[in-house]
Amino acid sequence: MPDTEMLELLKQRLQRKQYKLTMQRRTVLEILLEHPGEHLSAEDVYGALRDKSSDIGLATVYRTLELLVQLGILQRMEFGDGCNRYEIADIEKNEHQHHHLICIKCGKVTEFFDDLLDELEADVAAKSGFKITDHQVKFYGYCKECQDELENK
């Protein structure tokens, strides 16, 4: 989906929740759309804004990212290093987020989309009476490059 279509969908989602697509929100979303699959931190977004000569401050970036998470437009993730990262949340309702493979040596994050947990989720919901709306899976280990490097030592 082209960025202009995605921005329009995100604008509509904001409006449904009684928020406007301000210039700051639009600019932050554009940065995230320009870096698909990169899991940007607030500092990464701020750096990209500075590269574009934007005068949006770091505090505004943090506030904007947190608001967009609260509104379900962004997903916040933490990959075990204490740093929050953000990406555009999946647009389709009732669609699970993708999952992540995290290399504990180089920090590379790879996304995967197979969702094999539907039966487990249904079982947990039935046994606990808990209404599950989503889940996240993170696998930690070594990427292929780091495996090769470790084997060649």
- In order of their start, the domains of the chain are 1-95 (1.10.10.10), 96-153 (3.30.1490.190)
Please indicate if the annotation marks 143 as binding a ligand: yes
Pairing of strands 138-141, 99-103: parallel
Q: Is 59 helix (H, G, I), strand (E, B) or coil?
A: helix
8-22, 94-108, 115-129: which has the highest mean pLDDT?
Answer: 8-22
Contact call for residues 120 and 110 (beta carbons, < 8 A): no
The whole-number average pLDDT for the span 62-89 is 88
Please indicate if the annotation marks 83 as binding a ligand: no
Query: What is the pLDDT at residue 37?
Result: 76
Query: How is residue 116 written in tokens?
Result: 């094999």
The whole-number average pLDDT for the span 11-38 is 90
Round to whole Å and give the CA distance between 76 and 70: 10
Q: Is 36 helix (H, G, I), strand (E, B) or coil?
A: coil
How crowded is the C-beta side of 120, counted as CA atoms within 13 Å? Answer: 6
pLDDT higher than threshold 70 for residue 10:
yes
Query: How is residue 76 written in tokens?
Result: 């916040």
Query: What is the pLDDT at residue 91?
Result: 56
pLDDT higher than threshold 60 for residue 92:
no
Query: What is the pLDDT at residue 153?
Result: 74
Please indicate if the annotation marks 146 as binding a ligand: yes
